[in-house]
Amino acid sequence: MAYLDLTNISKTYGTDGRKVQAVAPLTLAMDRGQIVTFLGPSGCGKTTVMRMVGGLETPTTGTITLDGARLGGPDRRRGMVFQSYAAFPWLTVAGNIRLGLKYRADLSASDREDTVNRFIELVGLKGFADSYTNQISGGMRQRVAIARTLAANPDILLMDEPFGALDALTREHLQNKLLEINRTAGKTTIFVTHDVEEAILLAHRLVVFSARPARVLEDINVTEQLGPDDRDQALRDTPAFLSLRREVQQIIRAEYIRAEAEAAHAP
């Protein structure tokens, strides 16, 4: 049995008078510890799929199970990081991360402070522990949100364009850290992105979605093509990476052309 199993899930919004299908029925299964990246045209429904896994949207059809248990609304097993800067302005950087530890019964008081400091350093905010998040930049606030989610130690991470607003060097740093966390802690992760290179670099599997309603166009085994998990930014320059990037770009380009042609002939 797959660790995370999406069976025949779909999503339709609206009433009988006006219905919009965001996600066509689809099935996906993920193994424990996998990073699966979602890639596809803007507005295609890939974020809706992730939100259904997170319990923020209810599937119109189908079921989602985690380790054999059916999922419903949000819970502590699923940690979510969004594109927006979800940091609490009335708390310091350390206070935000400490909030993520609220339900960590496995940690003593001293362990909690060690964990707070470790994640502050992990996301490159050493020296800002006592700063309130309305006193730091948007990119730094996003790093706080990432650290808070990771510190909560969820079973799966759901990440919606979490690095999109960051500068290039910070983005590369956090990409490397996510890979490191996956290697050491085996965090099962769904990562939504519009960046083809980011999708390939981070993924064990890359799922390419169609234009709305979302269907799975391709489910690519990236590890099989690029080798083991000990990746770094230098992988971007290898022939295997460049070849896979061209393949994925061609899939997406063909889907844009198909969707535009279909829209042009729609009544």
pLDDT digits (tens, 9 = 90+) for 240-256: 999 999 999 999 999 98
pLDDT tens digits, one per residue of 45-91: 999 999 999 999 999 999 999 999 999 999 989 999 887 767 888 99
Q: What is the pLDDT of residues 82-141, one digit of tens each?
A: 877 678 889 999 999 998 898 888 888 889 999 999 999 888 899 999 999 989 988 888
State residue 215's pLDDT score. Answer: 94
- Identify the residue with better confidence: 209 or 231: 209
Assign 229 a pLDDT band (cuts: 50, 70, 90).
low
What is residue 143's predicted lDDT score, i.e. its pLDDT? Answer: 85
Q: Which of 162, 223, 214, 219 is nearest to 193 (CA)?
A: 162
Residue 67 is predicted with a pLDDT of: 94
- How would you class 174 by CB atoms within 10 Å of its CB: exposed for 0-12, middle for 13-18, buried for 19 or more? buried
Query: Which has more confidence, 12 or 14?
Result: 12
pLDDT of residue 85: 64
- Whole-number Å distance between alpha carbons of 252 and 248: 6
The whole-number pLDDT of residue 74 equals 92
Q: Encoding tokens for residue 116? A: 């707070």
CA angle 181, 186, 191 (to 5 degrees): 70
What length does the chain have?
Answer: 267
Contact indicator for 31, 3 with CB cutoff of 8 Å: yes
What pLDDT sits at residue 206?
97
Q: Would strands 205-209 and 35-39 be described as parallel, antiparallel, or unpaired?
A: parallel
**Taking the model in full, what pTM does it have?**
0.90
% of residues, the chain, pLDDT over 90: 59
Residue 50 tokens, joined: 């992730």
Q: How many CA atoms lie within 13 A of 253 on its CB side?
A: 6
What's the CA gap between 228 and 240, in Å, rounded? 13
Q: How many CB atoms lie within 10 A of CB 67?
A: 15
